[in-house]
Amino acid sequence: MKGATARWQAGGLAILALVVPLTPLVPEFWVTLLILIGLASLTALGLVVLTGMGGMTSFGQAAFVGFAAYTTGLLSTTYGLSPWLGLPAALVVTGLAACALGAITMRLSGHYLPLGTLAWGISIFYIFGNSAFLGGQTGMTGIPPLRLGSFSLIGPRSYYILVWLAVVLSLVATINLLDSRVGRAFRALRNNAIAAEAFGVLTARAKLIVFVYAALLAGVAGWLYAHFQRTLSASAFGAEANIDYLLMAIVGGVGQVFGALLGAGIVIVLKDLLQDMLGRLGMFQDLVFGIMLVGILQYSRDGIWPLLSSWLPPTTPRSIDPAADIERPARAPATSSGPLLALDKARKTFGGLVAVDDVSFNVGHAETVALIGPNGAGKSTLFNLITGVRRASSGRVSFDSASIERLSPQMIARRGIARTFQHVRLVPELSVLENVALGAHTRGHAGVASAVLRLDRAEERRLFAHAARRLERVGLAKEMFRPAGHLSLGQMRLVEVARALCLDPRLLLLDEPAAGLRAAEKKALAKLLRELKGEGMSILVVEHDVDFVMGLADRIVVLDFGKKIAEGLPQEIRVNPLVIEAYLGGVE
């Protein structure tokens, strides 16, 4: 209750802050500055989503501001179109440009991605500045203002309302989007794209959607900018603007929605102050910004917003309705009486290294098979072949008698294979519950539009009830609202198990699930895995804890240097001389 009151107070203060500039208490010059902050924060907000959440750094956002500004400018001057109709036209042009540029650049990774955006950012800047129909070097003039009937939105105070209305709507849309099924998928893109794919997220598509969304926010800013300034010059959309937008996102907090506003405010006010103070020595402005950036990266890598947000009232945890849990999927019955998973001479080479060397074995229905072997034996590579992360160089992997070795990870997940990872792959800043709900991605359908308009609440309730139930099963219900990054390594592994269970898999692949678990936790995990097997689930587990494996597995397959050296019942494997020499002699 206290938290709710505090939130109302914070909301009231925010509304007051938005309304005060409409009164003569605030000089017009400051209102103009607030308009520029609002416009910049729209573009910076897109960057926060693109870079901070999606992990894609762009040096080209100013180009999208330019596309929209020139589109509405051209249509309203040369073709006499209403400036209001310029908005949809600008968004269509910006969206199409983003689709084309994104389709090319979003395939790049690492340093090549920002370099790619820099390259087209510069090219588009030159196109703007050298196209006669856009006004060339002199720029475009005479852009009409926006009108409401006979009233022109010319004065800063009237334009301020429009700009900040757009900012508030964009903030709400972005917050809604991030708090949704697609939003969770976006947030997994930055460091956990492999995990997202393993749960059915179409990552290439998700990246393109994030890219277009960020470009559209920049497009709204461009449309507003054109009818506010009423003249356009290419210099507003060049390298300096691109760097400013990135600076805003980083200074405010690149992983934080409100960081965009804060960063835009700090950079624009500071720029103005520095211009006043330094006058002709304006070139030192870059030096000041450079020092500021180094300071932030050194002392608060997540930007300034996280420092301020600790003073805000805590958010209430979402309520979970256990009755809303989704039904288990109605899977087609097994098409054959044969094994659920079959590997036939599966082989994987990395250059000259044979990581998996013609390995064959099966996992039956409701059977637990353990895969053991020394470090580097090829166990994780084998998991990657089964889940489609890597393609087999030769051989066959079939699931329920159908070949899956050429399928994508997403298609394999949809068939009912879920996995955990040797190196935990969670999104640390998301709550434990949200991480687990990512496992149910394929069980939901809501897209971007439903998320933005909040039409996905019923589906979200079902997904979260499903995730909460899986968390209960692994004994982590109490931790569900904590950020996943705050858990111990053992707990994170259990969260991965819960996430995998969220897919309701027919085959569960566990890569070293007991590593980092305490004795009691291991016992509880073994009990859970036995229960799952009792419910008909098949399990393939890689584990170095021999006692855990011996007590759990129906059968054990042993790998060494990529080759299968033994297969049999636990008691047979324990006394197998080849296994003792290659592995057990070293671990017991």
Shortest Cβ distance from residue 261 to ligand ATP (Å)? 42
Shortest Cβ distance from residue 378 to ligand ATP (Å)? 4
Shortest Cβ distance from residue 72 to ligand ATP (Å)? 49
Residue 576 to residue 468: CA distance in whole angstroms = 43
Residue tagged 């291991």 (tokens): 522
| Among residues 102, 255, 373, 444, the one that binds ligand ATP under rule CB under 6 A | 373
73 or 373, CB closer to ligand ATP?
373
Return the amino acid letter for 546.
V
Residue 558 bridge partners (DSSP)? 372, 566
Nearest to 242 by CA among 112, 59, 117: 59
Nearest to 207 by CA among 323, 348, 104: 104
Q: Where are the alpha helices (DSSP H) in 48-105?
A: 61-77, 83-105
Q: Is there binding between residue 391 and ligand ATP (CB under 6 A)? A: no
116 or 373, CB closer to ligand ATP?
373
Return the amino acid letter for 490.
G
Write out the two tokens for 254: 């690149």
8 or 350, CB closer to ligand ATP?
350
| Among residues 350, 453, 457, 547, the one that binds ligand ATP under rule CB under 6 A | 350
Q: Which window, 142-150, 169-177, 222-230, 376-384, contacts ligand ATP (CB under 6 A)?
A: 376-384
Q: Is there binding between residue 271 and ligand ATP (CB under 6 A)? A: no
Q: Is there binding between residue 379 and ligand ATP (CB under 6 A)? A: yes
211 or 583, CB closer to ligand ATP?
583
Q: Is there binding between residue 54 and ligand ATP (CB under 6 A)? A: no
210 or 553, CB closer to ligand ATP?
553
Residue 494 to residue 484: CA distance in whole angstroms = 11
Q: Is there binding between residue 355 and ligand ATP (CB under 6 A)? A: yes
| Among residues 108, 269, 422, 428, the one that binds ligand ATP under rule CB under 6 A | 422
Shortest Cβ distance from residue 384 to ligand ATP (Å)? 8
Write out the two tokens for 36: 């520029």
Q: Is there binding between residue 493 and ligand ATP (CB under 6 A)? A: no
Contact 162/153 with Cβ under 8 angstroms? yes
Q: Is there binding between residue 349 and ligand ATP (CB under 6 A)? A: no
Nearest to 208 by CA among 95, 294, 353: 95
| Cα within 13 Å of Cα(201), Cβ side | 28
Binding mask 425-454 for ligand ATP (x = CB under 6 A): ------------------------------
- Name the strand (E) or helix (H) holding 350: strand 341-350
Q: What are the backbone dihedrals phi and psi of residue 398, each rounded to the nearest 5 degrees, phi first?
A: -125, 150
Q: Which window, 286-294, 316-324, 370-378, 519-527, contacts ligand ATP (CB under 6 A)?
A: 370-378
Shortest Cβ distance from residue 541 to ligand ATP (Å)? 13
Q: What are the backbone dihedrals phi and psi of residue 518, each rounded to the nearest 5 degrees, phi first?
A: -80, 165
Q: Is there binding between residue 380 and ligand ATP (CB under 6 A)? A: yes
Q: Is there binding between residue 381 and ligand ATP (CB under 6 A)? A: yes
Angle between helices 181-198 and 156-178 (to 10 degrees): 40
Q: Is there binding between residue 375 and ligand ATP (CB under 6 A)? A: yes
Nearest to 426 by CA among 418, 416, 437: 437
80 or 351, CB closer to ligand ATP?
351
- Name the strand (E) or helix (H) holding 174: helix 156-178
Q: Is there binding between residue 385 and ligand ATP (CB under 6 A)? A: no
Q: How many residues are recorded in the chain?
A: 588
Q: Which window, 99-107, 144-152, 213-221, 375-383, contacts ligand ATP (CB under 6 A)?
A: 375-383
Nearest to 538 by CA among 509, 513, 515: 509
Nearest to 255 by CA among 474, 418, 57: 57
User: How many residues bind ligand ATP, per CB under 6 A?
Assistant: 12
Q: Which residues would be at the binding site for ligand ATP (CB under 6 A)? A: 350, 353, 355, 373, 375-381, 422
